[in-house]
Amino acid sequence: MALADLGLDLQRLPAPLPIWHGPVDRDSWAAAARAVAEQGGRLVSMWGSDREAAAGGIAACAAYAVPEGLVWLELAIDDPTQGFPDLAPVFPCAGRMQRAMADLSGLQAQGSHDQRPWLDHGLWAPGRAPLQHDADPQPAGAGTLPADYAFVRVEGDGVHEIAVGPVHAGIIEPGHFRFSVAGEKVLRLEEQLGYVHKGIERRFTELPPLDGHRLAGRVSGDSTVAYAWAYCMALESAWECVVPERAQWLRALMLERERVANHLGDLGALGNDAALAFGLAQFSRLREDWQRLSKDVFGHRLLMDMVVPGGVAVNLQMPQRDAQRRQCDDVEREVRRLRQVYDEHAGLQDRFLTTGRVTPALAARLGLTGLAGRASGQASDLRCAHDWQPYARLQARIAAQEAGDVAARVAVRFDEVLESLRLIRELCAGLPYGECGFELKAPQRQVRGAGWVEGWRGEILVALETAADGRIVRCHCHDPSWQNWPVLEHAVMGNIVPDFPLINKSFNLSYSGHDL
């Protein structure tokens, strides 16, 4: 594998996807990052883990995607004030992750040029960082105002700033966007997020492991299946549980239903943002019918709490399977018809084509991932890349484009809807017999596990550590929006201000999944 020449001591975790874990020293921490980059690998996530000294002490963690799978590396840190070597020069997307590590775990990246707080808006009480094991965080005083954020200024004749948010119209989550503009042309965009930080990662440590899937499923409500599956995969990996085959198929069925629901919603919203209200009406109707059947079959419109440790919460009967297959046929006919409308609508294509473009070269450098990455030539999809059942048996096909503009991101959504409909029909037709769950038992030792799932927005990672007494020591959840929010800033540059809502919607990134 890509790290073999470094002589690292890697241990394969018992997960359905190929995932390894291993310790590194300070020199190997930076060398491993360079080796991954040279081999075309990607940084998936970074986080800090502060256990009690008897359980391993403080560590900086990084997870990399390499051709062979996922590699979780851990750097033990004796003195927290020394921090860890900065990875942003190798992987630019590390910058904000490292700033979040400093806010949450008190670990600083040595030599980083950007050490501004990211999640802490100046409202957190002074003292130990909230994820340090002996922290006792206190809420900010009533009436406290957030600190001013040090936005990067653009100077020059005719340059002015437009501040948007953090409060937006409608039900959009809060986020601040600072545009530097000359006329209507965007010269620079800088974001400030963190407004919906909820303390989720600390809350995990207060829950029994068998209840953690419910919290994971609420990290980002539009990806509840993907997050719950990733959490359950991590727990099952740590506790060495083999999930029944029927449960794996039902999980995949729910994951594809989640993917279709979100793509239908986005395709309608993108049409509406380009002044085609007809598209919004038609796709909203299709999504509503889709979610109503999810409620009838699984008991929840968004499929929340349906993926549980060891399996799934509900079984599937033959009439319910037939209903889903019929719905797939009906939806496919309408989606193909609507795609023709979108492709042949001159006004829509005028707004979509060349707007918000991210070239494949820029996407590779900045680590653009998931759906947006596949629209910019980054053909990576966990359902296709590894021997992950049932996807390997069903021969899942990847949807990819090269243009990297709004039109390409729309095309990927259409292609993924059609492929998911095919997969759902195959999953319903070939659903194996057997049990839908397995009872998990905690081992009497300190263990770790990881879950890695291709959600509709991109790859979701959950890294989990449990103590010898069974309690959760650390649970880190990672959303692909971490990689993609900074790329959105580049996608907007050179476009006009009125195109920002369209470009933003074409990415449709998560605030909640980012602001844990």
With a pLDDT cut of 90, the percent of the chain lying above it is 86
Compare 123 and 208 and report the one with higher pLDDT. 208
Domains and CATH numbers, the chain: 4-110 (3.30.460.80), 156-193+481-516 (3.30.390), 200-480 (1.10.645.10)
Confidence of residue 136 (pLDDT cuts 50, 70, 90): confident
pTM, entire model: 0.96
Task: Please state which of the ranges 43-57, 282-296, 327-341 shows the lowest mean pLDDT.
Answer: 43-57
384-456-385 Cα angle (round to 5): 15
For residue 177, what are the β-bridge partners? 164, 191
Under 8 Å CB-to-CB from 211, ≥6 apart: which residues?
none
Measured CA to CA, the distance from residue 506 to residue 342 in angstroms comes to 15
Determine the length of the chain.
Answer: 516
Measured CA to CA, the distance from residue 512 to residue 510 in angstroms comes to 6
What is residue 71's three-state secondary structure?
strand
Measured CA to CA, the distance from residue 250 to residue 119 in angstroms comes to 36
For residue 404, what are the β-bridge partners? none
Sheet holding 447-454, edge to edge: 447-454, 459-466, 472-478
Looking at residue 351, the DSSP 8-state letter turns out to be: H
pLDDT for 54 beyond 50: no
pLDDT for 2 beyond 60: no
Give how far the C-alpha of residue 145 lies from the chain's centroid of Cα atoms, to the nearest Å. 30
- In the predicted model, what is the mean pLDDT of residues 400-413? 98
Burial class (CB in 10 A: 0-12, 13-18, 19+), 58: buried
Closest CA relative to residue 132, chosen from 474, 469, 448, 449: 474
pLDDT digits (tens, 9 = 90+) for 247-259: 999 999 999 999 9
- In the predicted model, what is the mean pLDDT of residues 470-498? 96
Strands 307-308 and 176-182: unpaired
pLDDT for 143 beyond 70: no
Beta strands in 111-233 (DSSP E): 159-164, 176-182, 185-192
Task: Please state which of the ranges 156-170, 227-241, 329-343 shows the lowest mean pLDDT.
Answer: 156-170
pLDDT for 110 beyond 60: yes
What pLDDT was estimated at residue 240?
A: 94
- In the predicted model, what is the mean pLDDT of residues 154-177? 90
Residue 61: other Cβ atoms inside 10 A: 22
- In the predicted model, what is the mean pLDDT of residues 286-314? 97
The helix (run of H) or strand (run of E) holding residue 293 is helix 277-298
pLDDT digits (tens, 9 = 90+) for 59-101: 999 999 999 999 999 999 988 888 999 999 999 999 999 999 9
What pLDDT was estimated at residue 455?
A: 98
pLDDT for 55 beyond 60: no
Tell me which amino acid residue 440 is: L
Confidence of residue 133 (pLDDT cuts 50, 70, 90): confident
User: How high is the mean pLDDT of the chain?
Assistant: 93
- In the predicted model, what is the mean pLDDT of residues 241-245? 94
What pLDDT was estimated at residue 139?
A: 63
Confidence of residue 7 (pLDDT cuts 50, 70, 90): confident
CB of 381 closer than 8 Å to CB of 454: yes
What is residue 465's three-state secondary structure?
strand
pLDDT for 6 beyond 70: no
Measured CA to CA, the distance from residue 374 to residue 402 in angstroms comes to 8
What pLDDT was estimated at residue 125?
A: 81
What pLDDT was estimated at residue 124?
A: 86
Could you give the residue ranges of the DSSP H alpha helices within 106-221?
200-204, 212-216
